[in-house]
Each structure stands twice: as C-alpha cells, then as structure tokens.
C-alpha cells in the first residue's frame, strides 16, 4: 500500500472514528429526555465536520435488557455528496446496530464494542478523471467549524469483538483508473477479541455476484465469491498470519498461506503462497462467464491442472515483492451432455516470473496455448520482457473458428443465433523502442484478421447484427482496415482506413490514431437505442447522478472520420444527406463542416462534445438552419420549447443562426440553459401566430380583435441568450400591416418582458376613438393659430409582463389621447421653426450664389490680365538688335511680369473683400430671421 493510499485509509478511519465518537458522546448524554434535540444535534455536528450531507432516521437505545451493556440502533443513514457529487449518495445504511459496554463509555474509554452490525448498505464510490473521489469528505482542520465547547476531547480508542455486514451493495467507479466493480449482496462476518494484543481473527465473506472491469475489459462477470479467511493477528506488530483459509471464485478454490505485515505507514511486508489442491480443469472453466452461466453442473471435463503463485518482499511506492505465477493445463477437455461436440486438446503453459523488487525484471512467458473448439484450432504463444521500460515481445496467434459451431459446444440462450467465420494469423516480435524510432526493419509485424458473414442474434436486442466483411491487415507501421461492411437491424455501416500507433496503444497505453472514410445509407438510432437502459447506484435517499447515461468519449483515441450518411432516424427527426468530418480526440468529439437536411430545411454546424469532466460533459456549437418548419422545430427540441414558447402557436418557415452555444450537460445529457451565453439571428418572410395568450390580451386591450391572429412579415432580428433568458435586440417588423418596433426577453421560467412601439392606422380604431382624436386636434390648432392635420397613424406603446400563460398588458393608448393637444402644439412650433430655417437657408444660399459668381468673374479677369501682361513681356524679350539691347529688354520684361502679378492679385483680393461683406450681411439677415421666428 503506497503512502497516498495509506493516508487515505487513515483519513477514512479518522473520519469514521470522529463521527462514531460524536454519536456516542451525544447519545449517552440524556438520551431519554431530549431525544429530538439529540437527533438534530448529531446531524448538525456531523455535517459541520464533513463536506457532505448526512441524515438518518430514528434511533433507539436499550439498557435494561442488556445491562451492563447498552444496545444502540439507527436506521436509514445516508451520506450525500456536495458540489459535483451533489446528486450522488455515497453511502446508505438501512440499519446500524451497536452493542457497547456502558462502563467503558462512562469512564471515557477505551470504548468496548461487543459487536457492530450493518444491514442493507448501499455504497457508490466514484473517482473522477481528475482524481477527485466522492468519499474524500473530511473537512480540513482550518475549515471545519470549531465547537463552542472548550472541553478537551481525549484520544479516541476502540475495542471491537465482532463486525458484521448483511446484504451490502457496493459500486466502485474509477474514471481516472478506468476501473469498475459491482458487488451484489455482500455478507461479511468478522470476529476477534480486539482487546488483546495477539488474537485469532476470523472472517467469512460471501458475494452473490462480483463484476470487475479494467480498461473496458471484464475480468470477472457476476462471479460468486466465498471466502473463509482465518488469521492470527499481532496488533503491536501489525502482522497477520493466514491459517485455515479458503477463497472460492465460482468453482475455483485458492488456499493462501503465509503472512502480511504493516510495520509502518508506507510498507507492506509479505511472504505469501497459494495452493490449489482441490482444483480441476472444470473449476478453471468456472472463471469463464460464457461457460459458467448455464448448465455448469452437468458439464463433463477432464485434464490436469496446476496453479501456483507466491509473493515475497516489501510493497511500497518504489518497491514490489518478488512473485511467481504458474498455470499449467494438460490435455483439457469439456463437453455439455446435451450438446454434440466438445472442446478438446486444451493446453496452457503460462509462467510469470518477477525475481526482484523491480517490475521491469518481470518476464511473462505464455509458452503454449492450444485449444480445439468443435474442430476449430487456435494457437497462441507470447513472451514479454522489460515491460516497464522497453517492452520486448515475441508473439503469434493463429486460428479459425466457425461461429455456427459454437452452439454445438456452448449452450446458447433460447433465441440466440451465431454464424460466420473468424480467422486470425498474426506474428509480432521486437522492441517498442524500435517502433517509437520508426526503425521498422528491426521489428516484425504481419498478419491478418478476417470476419466473414458473421451474424449475431439475441433476444436481448430488438435487431440482428451482421458483419458481412471485416479485414484487418497488420504491418509494422499501421493496421489497415481494408474493408468493413456491417448492418445492425435496419442500419448499415461501411468504412475503410488505417490505424496508427497500435502497438504503442497496446503496450504503452498511448493514443490510438486512425483515419477512416465512413458511409451509411441508413442509421436508425431509434432502433439501435431501443434496448439501451441505464442504471445508477441503487440509492433510496437521493437521485444518483446516473453517470452511466452519459456517453464517455475515450481519452486515448484519436480518430478522424470523413462521413457520408444518406439518412438518420432519431426520435421524430428524419435527417438526410449528412456530410462532414468527425474527429474523436482527447475525450472530445469534434464536428467540422457538418451539413444535413432535416425538419424541412438544411442545417450546418461546427462544434464539439467534451467529456473531460464525465460528471459534467459540455457541448459547444455554431448552428445555421435554413427554412426550418417552426412547428416541427418546436415539437423536436425541448430547448426551443423552453426559450421560445411562442413557436407552439406559430406557422411558417425560418432561417436562423446560433453562435457560441457553450454549455454543460447534466446526467440526462440535458443542457443547463441558465448558464448559456450565445448569440444569433432569426429571419422569416411571413409567419402566422394564432392562439398565443399575450396576443389575445393585446387584442382585448386595444379593442382590435384582428390582433389575436398576427401576421409577422420580414423578420430580421438579433438575439442573445444569457442567464436563462433569450433577449431580442430592437427590431422593426410588420404586425398585421402595423409597423412595430419590438424588444424584450423570455425566460426559462416562462416569464416575458417585451416592449412594442406600434404605429396603428387611425382607420383600425372605431368612429368613437377617431372623433375624440379630431376634437383634440381642432382645439390644439385653435390655440396655436394653425391648420395642421394629424397623420393617419397613432403611436401606441405596449408593455408585456407576467408569464406566457398568464400575461399582463399595459398600453399607452389612453395616455396618447390625453397628450394629443401638446403634440399638436409641438407640431405647430416645429412647422414655424422649419419655415424660418427654410427662409434663412434661402438668404444664405442666394448670398453664396452671388459670391460664387463674383469670385468666378474676378478670377477670369485676373487670369486675362495675367495672360496679356505675360504675352507683352515675352514680346519685349524677343526685341533687340544687339546683346546690350536684348539684356535691357529682358530686365524690362521681368519688371512687366511682376507688375502683371500684382495687378492680377489685386483683382482677386478686391473680389474676396466684397464677397466677405456680402456673406456677413447675409448671415446677419438669416440670424435675424431665425431669432425673430
């Protein structure tokens, strides 16, 4: 036992001891006068010291009939986890009884317990993938609530004579270690005088059915266990010597001799040997579930068997005892009396030798395995060395079996049928290091496994399984799935591809990689899942987490499937033309560019399903649906039923997106919508909603009966999901030809919170309402001295509250009528302001037009003046009979150009000055016009 396991064992004992001590202290104190208070005090005290919820039913005490001892019993004790284990009942005890020496309690210990009896216990132990265990419930000293009692508690000591368990059910589910065990109807009787330092310890154990799986392989399946384990216990030395013991696994019997000692917290010292004098070949066969489960008593068997094992040395974190295991079967044979054929010539020669404290020195030698089943021979041989560092092996398997002959030597269940041919011829030899280095020339791997026309039919499944062809070709580099063609009921499956890293996966538990092309014409998931049942731990006080219902994705698989599926039937959905890529990697199934047709439209998606935390698997997706039928969508998806209940009353088609949908699932594979954060867009051309209660209330409030059936046109709305509500950002649509701005949200609790801004045509209201509006308008015009007419539409605000089934409606129609006068005044004022602004804008525009004209004329004149002056200067430069005259004319030309530039610029400047004055005057007139109005 390593230090971690030893510490955990001590922690469990400590927790049990503390809890037991608290129970004793409180029970002894005035049990008859304050029973109800005692019960509550015990519950509170235990719950303060444990990270779990502890509860129990009635308890009883008896002193007179058992004096000087007292008898204590308690019923229906339950321990339920918290946080990730909040739905798991760790332990449930139907009844717990103790017979305790009264004097030892009153004197403060050591407590002398004559016997402890536990009946109808149910335990469900779980280890998550991160290593967290649901039984690690003891609070640390700094988090446990301190008692207000300052009395010093003495060290806990216990002397026990007998411990008994009746009808216990135990499930151990280790997701990290990939181990699972199920113990049904465990009965255990332990007796011994623990008050002595050295005494005889007697144990009797029976288990009706024990199942043990590791890595997905069932090593025991509903095996019957019976054990008589008597030993001499030396408590000061913690040494236990076995004597007169016998362990039965079905019909297989093992005797154990030697001792095991725990001199300290980290070491287990042992010298153990097994003997199997009572065993025969038939008893070995009882370990095979298919052989043992039916008509085993009448089985005729012959052949010699030798089984021996021993272990000697110290077990701790860094050391193992040396050990040997030997199994020899010579000329084995068995036959059921009612069947025509037998299994003959069974030879097994298996030796496992680990001579040192290091497991790497272990050698596994299967020198021979030969078996002939109704004339079908199978041969196997294997040698494995250095298993911990560099696996070195040499193995082969060769055989053929006609499955139709199985019924001739193994009794099948009524209605079961098995046919087909399986052939295998595989050879492998070499070191794993050569494979890792891709030095394939140093490694030998070749062979083939073929399955042809395999048919399996059983009454436990509503469909037949038929493997028409499966061919696996083994090479040093990969395993080729050359062909796979199978049907399961109505469903068909075809695949081709290859598997890499097969040897590393087999011997080093590394990731198995593969790439496949997968296709199917039909997958009927309704048929394939019809017989699937999930059972959780049988715990009567709390609903189990039902982790069996969650589909666990293997962590050491890396597969890529390019898939094409013509049709999938799932619940009430018909899915067609599914295409895309699916990868299985690191406990996650990821979907790339998946497209399919369903619910009358098309769905495309990307996303994943992740089981790194098997207690809370998660999904993340991006969806796009095109032309989905609203009614079909509502009846198919419960998520739509919760977040969009209006869909139940709507008819039409819609297109939508859903982005970043990321959420954890519960044990029923249902999303926790309260934790969803996602966004999307919904578009529709034309939908009709009828019978929706909020719209019925709206119609009644506005006295417009036609609003009970709404026609919504050209929807294009954005939404987001947060905190359990679907929220719609403001959008405009036509509601029965009424332009409406809508915003708001719907919750998972069916509460609604919406605001509608409607522009309702006056014509939709009755004559009475229109007459009132016209009178108010006339009064406003008279007061303002205007003659403005009200438009054809009335603005109405509508607030929806309450729930989908019991909505409340508030409208702004009455307030709208009261405020009409003020609105008309505001309209008149706005008209006047608009007119003044129009006049001011005209003044500025006319001035700007005048300025633009003046500037254009000035620029033209300036350009003309410049052109004429520059031409005269050029003519002057060309005159002159000699060099001196030409030089003089050039200077005169330059002077003329400068004068021309100055004259041209003066024309522009004078025009700008004039324009500035014009604009200044115009702005003054415009401001005067606006201020006056």
pLDDT tens digits, 484-537 = 999 999 999 999 999 888 778 777 778 889 999 999 999 998 888 775 443 333
pLDDT score, position 923: 81
pLDDT band, very low/low/confident/very high, at 153 (cuts 50, 70, 90): very low
pLDDT score, position 788: 56
Tokens 């200077």 correspond to what residue? 891
Helix, strand, or coil (residue 109): coil
Inform me whether the pLDDT recorded for 662 exceeds 50: yes
Average pLDDT over residues 886-892: 78
pLDDT over 90 percentage in the chain? 24
pLDDT digits over 548-599, tens only?
357 778 888 899 999 999 999 887 788 999 999 999 998 899 989 999 998 8
Average pLDDT over residues 438-444: 82
Q: Which of 535, 536, 540, 545 is nearest to 92 (CA)?
A: 540
Q: Which of 175, 174, 67 is nearest to 555 (CA)?
A: 175
Inform me whether the pLDDT recorded for 340 exceeds 70: yes
pLDDT digits over 744-753, tens only?
999 888 899 9
Inform me whether the pLDDT recorded for 334 exceeds 50: yes
pLDDT score, position 564: 93
Which is more confidently placed, 862 or 807? 807
Average pLDDT over residues 860-881: 81
Q: What residues have CB less than 8 Å from 744, skipping those under 6 apart?
A: 727, 728, 752, 753, 754, 755, 800
Measuring CA to CA, how many Å separate 338 from each of 207, 284, 343? Answer: 30, 21, 14
pLDDT score, position 583: 93
pLDDT score, position 498: 92
pLDDT score, position 154: 42
The Cα 218–Cα 542 span in angstroms is: 29
Tokens of 694: 């909020």
Tokens of 453: 């026309």
Judged on CB neighbours under 10 Å (0-12, 13-18, 19+), 680 is buried
121 with 92: CB under 8 angstroms?
yes
The Cα 444–Cα 435 span in angstroms is: 10
Inform me whether the pLDDT recorded for 326 exceeds 60: yes
pLDDT score, position 822: 55
Least confident interval from 38-47, 798-807, 922-931: 38-47
pLDDT score, position 361: 93
Inform me whether the pLDDT recorded for 2 exceeds 60: no
pLDDT band, very low/low/confident/very high, at 38 (cuts 50, 70, 90): very low
pLDDT band, very low/low/confident/very high, at 827 (cuts 50, 70, 90): low
741 with 757: CB under 8 angstroms?
yes
Average pLDDT over residues 167-171: 91
436 with 504: CB under 8 angstroms?
yes
Which is more confidently placed, 864 or 821? 864
The Cα 918–Cα 926 span in angstroms is: 12
pLDDT score, position 767: 62
**β-strands 111-127, 158-160: how paired?**
parallel
pLDDT band, very low/low/confident/very high, at 67 (cuts 50, 70, 90): low
Least confident interval from 395-404, 464-473, 890-899: 890-899
Measuring CA to CA, how many Å separate 7 from each of 266, 313, 452? Answer: 9, 22, 54
- Longest Cα pair distance anywhere in the chain, in angstroms? 158
Average pLDDT over residues 668-674: 78
Inform me whether the pLDDT recorded for 283 exceeds 70: yes
pLDDT digits over 129-148, tens only?
777 787 777 666 554 444 44
Secondary structure letter of residue 216 according to DSSP: T
pLDDT score, position 782: 61
Average pLDDT over residues 33-61: 62
Which is more confidently placed, 771 or 83? 83
Inform me whether the pLDDT recorded for 170 exceeds 50: yes
pLDDT digits over 623-652, tens only?
899 999 888 888 888 778 887 888 889 999
Q: Calculate helix-pair angle for 3-28, 35-49, nearest 10 degrees.
A: 160
Q: Can you give the length of the chain in residues?
A: 933
SS (H, E, C) 826-884: HHHHHHHHHHHHHHHHHHHHHHHHHHHHHHHHHHHHHHHHHHHHHHHHHHHHCCCCCHH
The Cα 595–Cα 580 span in angstroms is: 6
Tell me the CA end-to-end span of the chain in Å, nearest whole number: 99
The Cα 281–Cα 343 span in angstroms is: 12
pLDDT score, position 540: 35
Least confident interval from 417-431, 515-529, 720-734, 803-817: 803-817
pLDDT score, position 362: 94
CB count in 10 Å sphere of residue 168 = 20
pLDDT score, position 495: 93
Secondary structure letter of residue 22 according to DSSP: H
Question: What DSSP assignment string belongs to 394-421?
Answer: EEEEEEEEEGGGGGGTSPPPTT-EEEEE
Mean pLDDT estimate for the chain: 80
pLDDT score, position 144: 45
The Cα 530–Cα 548 span in angstroms is: 16
pLDDT digits over 831-840, tens only?
667 777 787 7
pLDDT digits over 294-317, tens only?
778 888 889 888 888 999 999 988
Least confident interval from 44-58, 76-90, 402-416: 44-58
pLDDT score, position 615: 76
* Torsion angle, alpha carbons of 692, 694, 698, 699, to 10: 20
């Amino acid at each position: 036992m390593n230090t971690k396991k030893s510490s955990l064992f001590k922690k469990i004992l400590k927790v049990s001891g503390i809890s037991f001590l608290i129970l004793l202290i409180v029970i002894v104190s005035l049990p008859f006068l304050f029973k109800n208070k005692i019960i509550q005090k015990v519950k509170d005290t235990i719950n303060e010291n444990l990270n779990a919820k502890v509860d129990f039913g009635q308890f009883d005490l008896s002193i007179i009939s058992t004096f000087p001892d007292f008898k204590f019993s308690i019923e229906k004790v339950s321990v339920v986890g918290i946080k990730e284990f909040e739905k798991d009942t760790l332990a449930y005890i139907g009844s717990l009884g103790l017979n305790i020496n009264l004097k030892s309690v009153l004197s403060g210990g050591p407590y002398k317990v004559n016997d402890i009896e536990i009946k109808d216990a149910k335990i469900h132990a779980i280890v998550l993938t991160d290593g967290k265990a649901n039984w690690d419930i003891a609070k640390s000293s700094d988090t446990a609530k301190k008692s207000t009692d300052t009395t010093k508690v003495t060290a806990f000591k216990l002397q026990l004579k007998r411990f008994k368990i009746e009808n216990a059910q135990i499930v151990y589910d280790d997701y990290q270690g990939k181990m699972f065990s199920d113990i049904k109807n465990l009965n255990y009787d332990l007796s011994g005088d623990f008050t002595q330092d050295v005494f005889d310890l007697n144990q009797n154990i029976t288990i009706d059915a024990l199942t043990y799986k590791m890595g997905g392989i069932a090593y025991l399946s509903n095996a019957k266990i019976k054990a008589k384990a008597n030993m001499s216990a030396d408590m000061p030395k913690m040494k236990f010597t076995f004597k007169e013991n016998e362990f039965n696994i079905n019909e297989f019997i093992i005797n154990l001799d030697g001792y095991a000692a725990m001199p300290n917290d980290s070491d287990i010292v042992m010298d153990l040997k097994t003997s199997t004098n009572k065993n025969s070949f038939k008893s070995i066969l009882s370990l095979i579930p298919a052989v043992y489960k039916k008509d085993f008593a009448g089985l005729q068997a012959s052949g010699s068997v030798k089984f021996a094992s021993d272990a000697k040395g110290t077990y701790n974190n860094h050391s193992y005892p040396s050990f040997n295991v030997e199994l020899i079967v010579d000329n084995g044979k068995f036959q059921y009396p009612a069947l025509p054929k037998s299994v003959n010539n069974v030879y097994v020669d298996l030796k496992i030798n680990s001579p040192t404290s290091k497991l790497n020195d272990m050698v596994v030698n299967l020198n021979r395995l030969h078996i002939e089943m109704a004339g079908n021979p199978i041969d196997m041989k294997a040698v494995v060395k250095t298993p911990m560092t560099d696996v070195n092996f040499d193995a082969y398997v060769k055989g053929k079996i006609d499955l139709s002959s199985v019924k001739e030597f193994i009794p099948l269940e009524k209605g079961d049928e098995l046919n087909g041919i399986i052939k295998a011829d595989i050879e492998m030899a070499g070191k794993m290091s050569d494979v890792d280095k891709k030095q394939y020339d140093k490694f030998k791997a070749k062979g083939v496994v073929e399955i042809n026309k395999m048919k399996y039919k059983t009454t436990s499944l509503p469909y037949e399984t038929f493997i028409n062809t499966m061919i696996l070709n083994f090479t040093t580099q990969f395993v080729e799935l050359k062909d796979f063609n199978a049907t399961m009921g109505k469903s068909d499956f075809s695949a081709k591809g290859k598997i890499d890293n097969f040897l590393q996966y087999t011997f080093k538990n590394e990731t198995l990689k593969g790439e496949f092309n997968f296709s199917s014409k039909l997958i009927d998931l309704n048929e394939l899942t019809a017989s699937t049942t999930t059972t959780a731990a049988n715990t009567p006080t709390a609903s189990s987490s039902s982790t069996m219902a969650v589909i666990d994705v293997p962590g050491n698989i890396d597969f890529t499937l390019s898939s094409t599926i013509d049709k999938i039937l799932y619940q009430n959905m018909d899915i067609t033309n599914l295409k895309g890529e699916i990868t299985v990697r690191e406990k996650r199934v990821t979907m790339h560019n998946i497209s399919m047709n369903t619910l009358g439209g098309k769905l495309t998606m990307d996303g994943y399903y992740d089981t790194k935390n098997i207690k809370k698997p998660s999904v993340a997706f991006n969806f796009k649906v095109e032309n989905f039928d609203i009614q079909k969508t509502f009846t198919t998806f419960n998520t739509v039923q919760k977040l969009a209940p209006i869909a139940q009353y709507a008819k039409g088609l819609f297109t939508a997106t859903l982005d970043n949908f990321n959420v954890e699932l519960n044990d029923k594979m249902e999303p926790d919508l309260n934790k969803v954060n996602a966004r999307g867009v919904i578009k529709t051309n034309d939908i009709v909603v009828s019978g929706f209660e909020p719209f019925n209330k709206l119609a009644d409030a506005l006295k417009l009966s036609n609003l009970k059936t709404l026609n919504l046109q050209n929807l294009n709305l954005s939404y987001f999901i947060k905190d359990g509500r679907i929220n719609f950002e403001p959008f405009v649509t036509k509601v029965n030809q009424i332009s409406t701005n809508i915003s708001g949200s719907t919750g998972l609790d069916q509460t609604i919170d919406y605001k509608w801004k409607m522009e309702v045509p006056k014509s939709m209201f009755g004559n009475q309402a229109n007459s009132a509006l016209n009178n108010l308008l006339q009064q406003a015009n008279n007061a303002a001295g205007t003659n403005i007419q009200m438009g054809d539409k009335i603005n109405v605000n509508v607030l929806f509250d309450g729930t989908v089934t019991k909505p409340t409606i508030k409208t702004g129609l009455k307030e709208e009528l009261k405020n009409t006068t003020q609105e008309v005044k505001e309209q008149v004022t706005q008209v006047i302001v608009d007119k003044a602004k129009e006049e001011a804008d005209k003044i500025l525009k006319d001035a700007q037009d005048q300025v633009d004209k003046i500037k254009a004329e000035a620029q033209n004149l300036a350009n003309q003046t410049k052109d004429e002056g520059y031409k005269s200067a050029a003519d002057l430069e060309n005159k002159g009979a000699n060099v001196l005259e030409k030089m003089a004319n050039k200077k005169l030309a330059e002077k003329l150009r400068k004068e021309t530039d100055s004259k041209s610029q003066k024309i522009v400047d004078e025009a700008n000055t004039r324009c500035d004055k014009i604009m200044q005057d115009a702005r003054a007139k415009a401001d005067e016009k606006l201020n006056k109005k």
